[in-house]
Structure 1
Amino acid sequence: MEKILEVKDLTKKFKQIAVNHISFDVERGNVYGLLGPNGSGKSTTFGMLLSTINPTSGSWKWFGKEGTDTDTLKKIGAIIEQPNFYPYLSAEKNLKIVAEIKGVPEKRIDEVLAVVNLLSRKKDAFRTYSLGMKQRLAIASALLANPEVLILDEPTNGLDPEGIIQIREIISSIAKSGTTIIVASHLLDEIEKICSHVIVLKHGTAIYSGTVDGMSNTKGFFELKSDQLADLKSALESFGIFSSVKEKDQVLIAQIDEDISASELNRKLFEKGIILSLLQKKKESLESQFLELVKQTNA
């Protein structure tokens, strides 16, 4: 798959090291999460990639071209800070100003407002918007020039649950259109729900870069329940395909060592005369994978 962004040994030192030799690639058409707590280097990384912060060392390529020049910036829509719109102007008039600056035809305004579900409110003053609506208008502004890449820094910060869900749905909708998206967040749940890939930052260092699923080396686990719990546990242990079988609140947790489908496991147990009342195959949550990853880097 085509690499849109290639980052190698990117470093920024202020009084202390903010970003420490991070390297990662971004492939076209995916949603990438830059995950880490506040102060982990997410915004500094974005600043360097958009040429608003000078790096101490390292390099990057956008679309195969070194650095970030004016032509490259035209292909990128970014929201790094709080949206800066005129409070007494309508959403439509605010976007007309942005469209004129970017050299974009005004017909794009209704198109992007529809994407962020604000078309019915386009005549309303920006000051009357909720925080979530303001954030959605900022996304509309970033989409005006039909960018190939959309960069969002903490897009759900400060929003209520409804606003968070709306932003997630909009990001997913934009991704389906083929736009590559890079989202910075300190929220594990947000990254897990919208991203296919993740770069995990800790104290400015990338401790993982890859698929969300690939963060864990495990194959997942089964949750099983039966009236024949002791027989079920014995059968699972006899198969030799589980690294551990533990009981919790009358439910057996079987950690998968050799992958097997739920239907195949159900068949094998049925042949032993065991009837299941619960059978669910699950993957570890991103939170548990993240905590395990951090634990390994502390070791």
Structure 2
Amino acid sequence: MEKILEVKNLTKKFKHIAVNNISFDVEKGNVYGLLGPNGSGKSTTFGMLLSTINPTSGSWKWFGKEGTDTDTLKKIGAIIEQPNFYPYLSAEKNLEIVAAIKGVPNKRIDEVLDTVNLLARKQDAFKTYSLGMKQRLSIASALLANPQVLILDEPTNGLDPEGIIQIRDIINSIAKSGTTIIVASHLLDEIEKICSHVIVLKQGTAIYSGSVDAMSNTKGFFELKAENTELLISTLNQLNIFSSVKEREKLIIAQISEDISASELNRKLFEQGISLSHLQKKKESLETQFLELVKQTNS
């Protein structure tokens, strides 16, 4: 696939090393998560890629072109800090000012307000908006110039559960239009719900870069339940396709070592006289995989 962004050995040193020799690629049309706790280097990385922070070393290409020049910035919509909207002006008037600065026709305003579900409130003053609405207006502002890439730094920070869900739905909607999105977050759950790919940062170092699904080498696990628990456990062990079989909270958890579909497993067990009352194939959560990665880098 076409590479939108290529980052090679990017490093930034202040009094400490904020970003340490990270490399990753972003392919067109995907949603990437830059995942890590506060202080892991996410905002510094964005700052360098948008040329607001000078790197100590390393390089990057946007759309195959070295660095970030004015023409490149026109293709990128970014929210790194809260935009300075005028509190007494309406959402529409604020976006008219942004449109004039970006050289974008005002006809785009209703389109982007509709995208972030604020069209019905476009005449209301910015100061009357909730925190979630203000964040959605920021996204609308970033979308005005119809960017090819949208960069969002902690877009759900400080929001209540309803606001988080609204932002998540908006990001998913924008992604479906083909826009490449890069989201920085410390929230594992949010990254898992919206991102196809993830770059995991720990103290400025990238400890993983790739698809969310491939983040773990494990093939997942089965949850099973049957009337005869002892027979189920012994039969699963005899199949020699599970690395472990354990009982947990009245369910049998079988870690997969050789991949098998749920229907095939059900058939094999039925042939051994076992009728299952529960069977579900699952993948470890991103949180489990993240903690395992951190554990590996600490060892």
Partner of 2:295: 295
Partner of 1:143: 143
Question: What is the alpha-carbon distance in structure 2 between the residues aligned to residue 181 and residue 14 of structure 1?
Answer: 28
Partner of 2:3: 3
* Paired residue type of 1:208: Y
List runs of 5+ in structure 2 lacking aligned partners.
none
Alpha-carbon distance, 1:82 to partner: 1.4
Partner of 1:263: 263
Partner of 2:45: 45
Question: What is the alpha-carbon distance in structure 1 between the residues aligned to residue 237 and residue 16 of structure 2?
Answer: 52
Question: What is the alpha-carbon distance in structure 2 between the residues aligned to residue 193 and residue 27 of structure 1?
Answer: 19
* Paired residue type of 1:130: S
Summarize the alignment of residues 32-71 of structure 1 with structure 2, pairs less than 5 Å apart: 32-71=32-71
Summarize the alignment of residues 100-111 of structure 1 with structure 2, pairs less than 5 Å apart: 100-111=100-111
Partner of 2:156: 156
Partners of 1:12 and 1:56 within 8 A in 2: yes
Partner of 2:193: 193
Alpha-carbon distance, 1:84 to partner: 1.3
Alpha-carbon distance, 1:69 to partner: 0.2
Alpha-carbon distance, 1:206 to partner: 0.3
CA deviation map 1:145-190 (0-9, x unaligned): 0000000000000000000000000000000000000000000001
Partners of 1:83 and 1:135 within 8 A in 2: no
- 1:183 aligned to 2:183? yes
Partner of 1:93: 93
Alpha-carbon distance, 1:20 to partner: 0.4
* Paired residue type of 2:240: G
Secondary structure of 2:51's counterpart equals coil
CA deviation map 1:107-143 (0-9, x unaligned): 0000000000000000000000000000000000000
Secondary structure of 1:213's counterpart equals coil
Secondary structure of 1:136's counterpart equals helix
Secondary structure of 2:156's counterpart equals coil
Question: What is the alpha-carbon distance in structure 2 between the residues aligned to residue 239 and residue 249 of structure 1?
Answer: 23
Query: Stretches of 4+ moved more than 6 A in 1?
Result: none
* Paired residue type of 2:104: V
Alpha-carbon distance, 1:83 to partner: 2.4
CA deviation map 1:235-272 (0-9, x unaligned): 11111111110111221100001100001101111111
* Paired residue type of 1:106: N
Moved more, 57-66 or 262-271: 262-271
CA deviation map 1:6-48 (0-9, x unaligned): 0000000001110000000000000000000000000000000
Partner of 2:279: 279
Partner of 2:228: 228
* Paired residue type of 1:125: A
Partner of 1:79: 79
Secondary structure of 2:284's counterpart equals coil
Secondary structure of 1:46's counterpart equals helix
- Give the TM-score taking structure 1 as reference length: 1.00
* Paired residue type of 1:94: N
Secondary structure of 1:277's counterpart equals strand
Partner of 2:253: 253
- Give the TM-score taking structure 2 as reference length: 1.00
Partner of 1:28: 28
Question: What is the alpha-carbon distance in structure 2 between the residues aligned to residue 186 and residue 152 of structure 1?
Answer: 13
CA RMSD of aligned residues (A): 0.5
